Amino acid sequence: MQVTGQNVEKGLVKIMITMKDIARHLGISRTTVSVCLSGKAGQYKISEETSKNVLEYAAKAGFVPDQTAISLARGKKATIGIFVNLFSSGKSNEALRYLLEAIVDKDINYRVMHFQRDSVLSCIREMLGHGTRTIIIIGWFDNDAFLESMEPYLRNGVKLFLVDYCFTAPLKKKWKNAYFIGINREKAYLKTFEYLYKMGHRKIAFTSNVPRLKAWKKFSEKYSLPFNYALRPPLPDFCMQSSDEPFMDELIQLYKREKITAVMLSSDFLAAKLIERLQKEGIRVPEDISVAGFDNLASSPYYNVPLTTIDVPMDKLINKVLDVILRRKELPQEVIIESELIIRSSVAKIPAEVKTIT
């Protein structure tokens, strides 16, 4: 392979220059290159000129020591690539913390990166180029095009774990070495709708996504509810503090116009923001309107109004990953963990005369 000082793109994986490449270019042994790069040339009576040539060429060619190979040589396990989707709110951070606590004393190398949909594949390729063979993605990710792009790597032994995967539909095909781990969101949303109905609520607004709309269709048909107060959730925006305001304005207008009595939201963070905004508007929670969230963050019991929410058991989801990478257990391709509705004081029962549909 001809080395020009730049990384070489070969197929889909970015190939990094190796000590073997340096040795071939300089006409010396790989062992000599290794000793020079370790700074021990003098101990092994390698000439200063040879050492200088190795170090200069390595720097020019962009050589980066393969930490995975170094770890394996020292008896450590391979590096794990961990990608966290911050758009999945705080539960991804909680899952990451649980995962790192589990592997910190296991002599495992890891790299952690934030990802967005348009950047995750290029970042994974970068890690694979350094020898990483296990990729863990934490956060909602259900991109078929991504999986198609990953298939060559999966066939070659790379393991991919999609944690908190959204099962919007049956998988279109079997993916070798890919594991989809999450909860049944549609079932979880149905639990919340049923609880709200039990508490007397009939006019229920909710932020829409595919499984939530499927759950609402089943629920509304079961109870012959003619209303459909589906709201588009606000897009995550870490720069603009007011990014949620248009959504909240719309919901407050819906409350005043349609007299909705409950709202189910896409995250606990959004629910907390909404409760704060409602209180500023003089609308009481839960006396005037009930609010339910999704995630069951560690902070959810301590909001101004303790939040009724669906628990996404991230510790259990991560444990399924640990079963494979630490305990060498077999795992089916699809792993669905049961979720639980956590009942707190943000949802109240309403009087019989209020729940009458008009």
Q: Taking 60 as the threshold, does the pLDDT of residue 4 lie above it?
A: no
Mean pLDDT, range 110-118, rounded to an integer: 78
Cα R_g (the chain), whole angstroms: 26
**Domains 70-183+314-337 and 186-312 alike in fold:** yes
What torsion do the CA atoms of 347, 272, 163, 98 make, to the nearest 10 degrees?
Answer: -100
The per-residue pLDDT for 324 is: 92
DSSP-derived pairing of the beta strands 159-163 and 134-138 = parallel
- CA proximity to 64, closest of 12, 118, 111: 111
Given a contact cutoff of 8 angstroms between Cβ atoms, the answer to whether 115 and 87 are in contact is no
Position 11 scores a pLDDT of: 40
Beta-carbon contacts of 98 under 8 Å, excluding residues fewer than 6 positions away, are: 314, 315, 318
pLDDT in tens, 222-260: 999 987 899 988 865 444 444 788 999 999 999 999 999
Backbone angles phi, psi at 269, to 5 degrees: -55, -50
CB atoms within 10 A of CB 215: 23
| pLDDT at 70 > cutoff 90 | no
Pick the CATH number of 186-312 from 3.30.70.141, 3.40.190.10, 3.30.1390.10, 3.40.50.2300: 3.40.50.2300
AA letter at 78: A
The tokens describing 323, both together, are 């079963």
What's the chain's length in residues?
358
Q: Mean per-residue pLDDT for 112-129?
A: 78
Q: Which residue has the higher pLDDT, 318 or 75?
A: 318
- pLDDT band at residue 64, thresholds of 50, 70 and 90? low
CATH topology of domain 8-65: 434 Repressor (Amino-terminal Domain) (1.10.260)
Confidence tier at 69 by pLDDT (50, 70, 90):
low
CA 108, 112, 117: angle at the middle one, nearest 5? 135
What SS3 state is found at 296? coil
For 328-343, what is the mean pLDDT?
93
Q: Which residues 6+ apart lie within 8 Å of 227 measured at CB? A: 202, 203, 204, 220, 258, 357
Per-residue pLDDT tens over the stretch 151-192: 888 988 899 999 998 877 777 778 889 999 999 999 999 999
Cα separation of 262 and 348, whole Å?
9
Domain-wise residue ranges, the chain: 8-65, 70-183+314-337, 186-312
Exposure of 121 by Cβ count < 10 A (0-12 exposed, 13-18 middle, 19+ buried)? middle
| Type of residue at 124 | I
> Is residue 241 a contact partner of residue 270, using CB atoms and an 8 Å limit?
no
Greater pLDDT, 59 or 305: 305
CA distance 85 to 328: 26
Q: Three-state SS for 186? A: helix
- Counting beta carbons within 10 angstroms of the beta carbon of residue 225, is it exposed (0 to 12), middle (13 to 18) or buried (19 or more)? middle
Single-letter residue type at 6: Q
Beta bridge partners of 264: 206, 292
In whole angstroms, give the CA distance from residue 286 to residue 304: 11
Give the tokens for residue 175. Answer: 């993916």
Class of domain 70-183+314-337: alpha beta
Which residues, including other chains, have CB under 8 Å from residue 65's CB and lie 6 or more apart? 37
Is residue 201 within 8 Å of 264, Cβ to Cβ?
no
Confidence check: pLDDT of 262 > 80: yes
Q: What pTM was estimated for this model as a whole? A: 0.75
